[in-house]
Amino acid sequence: MTSQTRAEAEAAFDRLSARGAEFLGTRYAVMGGAMTWVSERNLVAAISNAGGFGVLACGAMEPDRLREEIRATKARTDAPFGVNLITMHPMLNELINVCVEEAVGHVVLAGGLPPRSAIRQVKDGGAKLICFAPALIIARKLVRDGADALVIEGAEAGGHIGPVSTSVLAQEILPVIRDVPVFVAGGIGRGEAVLAFLEMGACGCQLGTRFVCAEESIAHPAFKAAFIKGEAREAQASVQVDPGFPVIPVRALQNKATARFLAFQQETIAEVRARKLDTKEAQLKIEHFWAGALRRAVIDGDVENGSLMAGQSVGMVREEQPVAAILADLREQAIGALSARLSRS
């Protein structure tokens, strides 16, 4: 590779990344996936300080706790970062107010179609709004309703997933949605994949699993060891036991907790049918199951009875690295692929 070829590849990659980087206010057009218990102040600040875009995972936090976490993140970085809020959270409006009051620049609404009132609340508060679009029809609706950017996340992702693969979603949505930036997520672990999606029309990518084993991640050493040992095929989606009670699948490394979830679904469905819970309460109970199981694994290191939420890109996580090195690797892999192509032309 000549120095000229290298320079041409760097310039080309930066052009492809420019729209996403400008939208986020970052060097890299890379968002950190919002992973409950993992995407907290330390990892989020580290991603932003290294030139990416860290995203706090609010999860089941209540407003005062979220405010504390935002302020703690700001104490660790002057760079832009976002906050991910779950749309089914019973205190969604209050959480949005916290983000507005704390001058969070980007709010991500995830976990379901956001109500228009929440969209207006974010926009009126001055934040940029990012929403998840699991299908083209929803992507179009979200753009009409005011989303400033979209994330399309395929079934290869960790945690809560949709039914369609990343590659299919990208082919369906990227050629059509041009009015707002679109970030691609799900199963992305190397820079060559980032480059491919940028060339398809994405403005950037979101990665979660790849950052779990960052040195700055507070995840328990046993949790990180499970990721480093894990293979793509071992990150499997949970099974829905009753078609009459829809449960969003969750992708995780298989252990005792994944088996326990099957029984938990049956118990929860029985409570709904006995009218001890309504459907929404049951859905929240299931969310609390995952939050508790995830904490046991991430914080306490119980990798047998806790949840090991992981995307299929876990097979590409082979060591603990600083966030800066992970981002640099992604860029180098993408530029290397571009340089090889230019050298052949």
Question: What is the pTM for the complete model shown?
Answer: 0.94
What's domain 3-219+317-344's superfamily in CATH?
Aldolase class I (3.20.20.70)
Say yes or no to pLDDT of 243 above 80.
Answer: no
pLDDT in tens, 216-233: 999 999 999 999 999 999
pLDDT in tens, 131-147: 999 999 999 999 999 99
Separation of alpha carbons 133 and 166, rounded Å? 12
Q: What is the pLDDT of residue 1?
A: 62
Say yes or no to pLDDT of 247 above 80.
Answer: no
pLDDT in tens, 148-197: 999 999 999 999 899 999 999 999 999 999 999 999 999 999 999 999 99
Separation of alpha carbons 124 and 61, rounded Å? 23
More confident residue, 87 or 247: 87
Report domain extents, the chain.
3-219+317-344, 221-312
Q: Indicate the range of 75-84, 220-229, 262-271 predicted with least confidence.
A: 262-271
Q: Measured between alpha carbons, how far is residue 267 from residues 60, 181, 259, 273 in Å?
A: 22, 42, 13, 10
**Residue at token pair 């956001």:** 114
* C-alpha closest to that of 160 among 108, 105, 238: 238
pLDDT in tens, 44-60: 999 999 999 999 999 98
Q: Indicate the range of 9-18, 221-230, 250-259, 275-284 predicted with least confidence.
A: 275-284
Q: What is the 3-state secondary structure (H, E, C) of the chain?
A: CCHHHHHHHHHHHHHHHHHHHHHHCCCCCEEECCCCCCCCHHHHHHHHHCCCEEEEECCCCCHHHHHHHHHHHHCCCCCCEEEEEECCCCCHHHHHHHHHHCCCCEEEEECCCCCHHHHHHHHHCCCEEEEECCCHHHHHHHHHHCCCEEEEECCCCCEECCCCCHHHHHHHHCCCCCCCCEEEECCCCCHHHHHHHHHHCCCEEEECHHHHCECCCCCCHHHHHHHHHCCHHHEEECCCCCCCCCCCCEEEECCHHHHHHHHHHHHHHHHHHCCCCCHHHHHHHHHHHHHHHHHHHHCCCCCCCCCEECCHHHHHCCCCECHHHHHHHHHHHHHHHHHHHHHHC
